[in-house]
Amino acid sequence: MKVQNKAELKTLFHQDGKKALEGIGRLFALMDQKKWSSGLANEVFQWIHSLKSEASFLGYSKVVADAEGMEEQLAKFRKALPTEKEWKDFRQLYLALEKDLGAILKGVELELSPQHVPQVGNLNDFEKVLLKEAKVRGEVLYRVDAEVDDGEVMPFPRLYLLINTLELRTNVLRITPSLETLQKEKYRSCSLLITSSSPIAHLRSWTQINGLKKADIQPIPMEEFIGEEELPPNWKAIAPLLLYRKDTFRMLTLSSHFFHGQELLVSCMEETNSPLKHALLEGILQQTGISADLLLKKASQLVSDLASQLGKEVSFHEEGDKNTKIPYRAFEVLNTVMNHLLRNAVDHGIELPEERRRMGKSSSGNIRVSIRKEGALYSIRVEDDGKGIDREAILSKTRDAGDKDVLSLLIDGGVSTKVSLVSGRGVGLQTVHSLVEKLGGSLSLETEPGKGSLFEVRFDLLSLKHPVFPCGQGEGQFHVPKVLVEEVFPLTPPSVRREGEKLFYPLKGKAIPVLGLSPAVQANGGIGIFLSLAERPGVLWAETVGEERWIPPPMLQKDLSNLISFLFSRE
pLDDT at 383: 97
CB 265 within 8 A of CB 559: no
What does the alpha-carbon distance between residue 88 and residue 353 come to, in Å, rounded to a whole number?
A: 64
pLDDT in tens, 270-279: 666 678 888 8
pLDDT in tens, 449-472: 999 999 999 999 999 999 998 887
| Residue 146 CA neighbour count, 13 Å, CB half | 31
CB atoms within 10 A of CB 308: 11
pLDDT band at 508 (very low <50, low <70, confident <90, very high): low
Q: How do 510-516 and 536-542 pair as beta strands? A: parallel
CB atoms within 10 A of CB 333: 21
pLDDT band at 350 (very low <50, low <70, confident <90, very high): very high
What does the alpha-carbon distance between residue 541 and residue 530 come to, in Å, rounded to a whole number?
A: 9
pLDDT at 113: 44
CA nearest neighbour of 445 among 313, 331, 336, 345: 345
The C-alpha torsion from 220 through 224 and 228 to 232, rounded to 10°, is -90
CB 49 within 8 A of CB 64: no
pLDDT in tens, 176-207: 887 777 777 778 889 999 998 888 877 888 88
pLDDT at 245: 39
| Domains observed in the chain | 6-112 (1.20.120.160), 125-230 (3.30.70.1110), 289-462 (3.30.565.10), 465-567 (2.40.50.180)
Burial class (CB in 10 A: 0-12, 13-18, 19+), 359: exposed
pLDDT at 534: 66
What does the alpha-carbon distance between residue 228 and residue 222 come to, in Å, rounded to a whole number?
A: 10
CB 138 within 8 A of CB 215: no
pLDDT at 232: 53
CA nearest neighbour of 329 among 440, 434, 433: 440
- 434-453 mean pLDDT: 92
Task: List, in sequence order, every residue forming a beta bridge with 159; answer none if it has no partner.
Answer: none
Higher pLDDT, 15 or 171: 171
CB 398 within 8 A of CB 345: no
Residue 90 phi/psi, 5° resolution?
A: -65, -40
The SS3 of residue 132 is helix
pLDDT at 235: 44
- Kindly give, in sequence order, each residue whose CB lies less than 8 Å from that of residue 146, ignoring residues fewer than 6 positions away: 159, 162, 189, 190, 191, 192, 207, 212, 214, 215, 216
CA nearest neighbour of 338 among 97, 526, 346: 346
pLDDT in tens, 523-534: 777 888 888 876
pLDDT in tens, 60-73: 777 888 888 888 88
What does the alpha-carbon distance between residue 73 and residue 91 come to, in Å, rounded to a whole number?
A: 10
Task: Give the H or E element holding residue 73.
Answer: helix 61-77
DSSP 383: E
pLDDT in tens, 296-317: 988 998 899 888 888 999 999 9
CA nearest neighbour of 40 among 269, 183, 208: 208
Give the residue ranges of DSSP H helices in 346-457. 353-358, 391-395, 406-413, 425-439
Task: List, in sequence order, every residue forming a beta bridge with 505; answer none if it has no partner.
Answer: 512
pLDDT band at 290 (very low <50, low <70, confident <90, very high): confident
Higher pLDDT, 326 or 487: 326
Handedness of CA 176, 179, 180, 181 (dihedral sign): positive
| Residue 138 CA neighbour count, 13 Å, CB half | 9
| Residue 517 CA neighbour count, 13 Å, CB half | 28
CA nearest neighbour of 44 among 26, 29, 30: 26
pTM: 0.55
CB 109 within 8 A of CB 282: no
pLDDT in tens, 534-561: 678 888 888 888 888 899 998 988 888 8
pLDDT at 523: 75
Higher pLDDT, 32 or 264: 264
What does the alpha-carbon distance between residue 4 and residue 265 come to, in Å, rounded to a whole number?
A: 66
Q: Does position 112 have pLDDT exceeding 70, yes or no?
A: no
Q: Does position 424 have pLDDT exceeding 50, yes or no?
A: no
